[in-house]
Amino acid sequence: MEFITIEKQVETQIVEKKSKFIANFFPVESVIDAETVIKEIKKKYYDARHNCIAYRVMEDDQIIEKSSDDGEPSGTAGAPMLAILQKNELANVVVVVTRYFGGVLLGTGGLVRAYSDSLLKAIDESVKVYKCEGVEMSVTTTYSDFELFKYYCKKHQILITNVEYSDLVICKIELEVAKKERLWKDFSTKEINLNDIKEITKKYIAKSIEKK
């Protein structure tokens, strides 16, 4: 399964008939992360009338969704924002739109539009990251073969996430599941000189974009 997330937090703001809408759009890795973000934003904007939320999080190969109108008329805030996340195939994200009431009622249509526009602006200003099923592995190599292994990783869109130097060089790498079989084959046929390979865990990783 593949999905789109965002690289880092984005904060945007719009004003609609004197009401101020502040959108905080975060990347998250779990439902716990999402709920923590919501608590922190609500604490930060404790004096606001509404902190409406929506999130979609991938856990155990399933997308968990949640939305809340936080006191706004039912269906005018959380649900429209969740629908936008779904339409844009966004996951592992949470949005909290804080409203400071400006004294002018917007009506249900106006509220739907304002909360939707708040999220759309945040999406527009965010950097998108495409995620796919991947695997984290540990690879051990000699110092003399390390440069060749780095070249191999660059050629095959394998990300080296950590390097430890001891008697040997121990690398943590991330690669797409589709590329794992090729790595094992090249290891067994000595196409690349490695001392050892171990699979650590499955995880969603940034999808490499092949150059045409």
Instruction: Please give the full DSSP string across 24-73, using - where no structure is assigned.
Output: EEEE-SSHHHHHHHHHHHHHHTTTSSEEEEEEEEEETTEEEEEEE-TTSS
Of 2 and 124, more confident: 124
Torsion angles phi and psi, residue 35, rounded to 5: -65, -35
User: What one-character-per-residue DSSP string does 155-211 give?
Assistant: HTT-EEEEEEESSSEEEEEEEEHHHHHHHHHHHHTTSS--SEEEEEEEEEEEPP---
Give percent of the chain above pLDDT 70: 98
pLDDT given for residue 203 in this prediction? 86
Burial of 139 (C-beta count, 10 Å sphere; 0-12/13-18/19+):
buried
Residues 110, 120: Cα–Cα separation, whole Å: 15
The one-letter amino acid at 180:
K
Q: Is residue 200 helix, strand or coil?
A: strand
Q: Which pTM does this prediction carry?
A: 0.79
Of 60 and 195, more confident: 195
Give me the residues paired with residue 199 across strands: 137
pLDDT given for residue 178 in this prediction? 86
Confidence of residue 158 (pLDDT cuts 50, 70, 90): very high
Q: Is residue 142 helix, strand or coil?
A: coil
User: What average pLDDT does the chain have?
Assistant: 93
What pLDDT digit, counting tens, does each position of 107-120 carry? Answer: 999 999 999 999 99
pLDDT over 90 at 37, yes or no: yes
What pLDDT digit, counting tens, does each position of 165-180 carry? Answer: 999 999 999 999 989 9
Q: What is the DSSP letter of 89?
A: T
Give percent of the chain above pLDDT 90: 85
CB-based contact 37:54 (threshold 8 Å): no
Residues 16, 105: Cα–Cα separation, whole Å: 10
pLDDT over 60 at 209, yes or no: no
Q: Is residue 92 helix, strand or coil?
A: coil
CB-based contact 57:78 (threshold 8 Å): no
